[in-house]
């Protein structure tokens, strides 16, 4: 499941998909400006979403580590009080 999330948040994957959609759109005669706009939008949106996801994971890890350290400090204080 984690691998799937990593793949779906990959800018390379979305760039490849945008390229494929661009190619297919050209075959069906869409205007190049429209195709470029759509491809740019897809890559931009995926970049932002990937950044937010990765930063969220980093923050969650930092909070988890801090919580473990606080628990260790509380255990040491409890031992000292006994």
Exposure class string for 16-54: b at 16+ Cβ within 10 A, else e:
eebeeebeebeeeeeeeeebeeebeebbeebeeebeeee
**Residue 56, pLDDT above cutoff 70:** yes
Contacts of 26 (CB under 8 A, 6+ apart): 32, 35
11 vs 19: CA distance, rounded Å: 12
Is the pLDDT confidence value at 82 over 80?
no
Q: What is the pLDDT of residues 9-42, one digit of tens each?
A: 677 777 787 778 777 877 888 787 887 787 788 7
């Amino acid at each position: 499941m984690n691998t799937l999330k990593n793949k779906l948040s990959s800018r390379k994957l979305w760039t490849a998909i945008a390229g494929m959609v661009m190619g297919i759109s050209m075959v069906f005669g869409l205007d190049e400006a429209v195709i470029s706009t759509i491809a740019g939008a897809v890559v931009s949106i995926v970049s932002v979403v990937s950044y937010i996801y990765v930063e969220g994971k980093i923050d969650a890890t930092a909070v988890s580590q801090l919580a473990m350290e606080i628990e260790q400090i509380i255990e040491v204080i409890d031992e000292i009080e006994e």
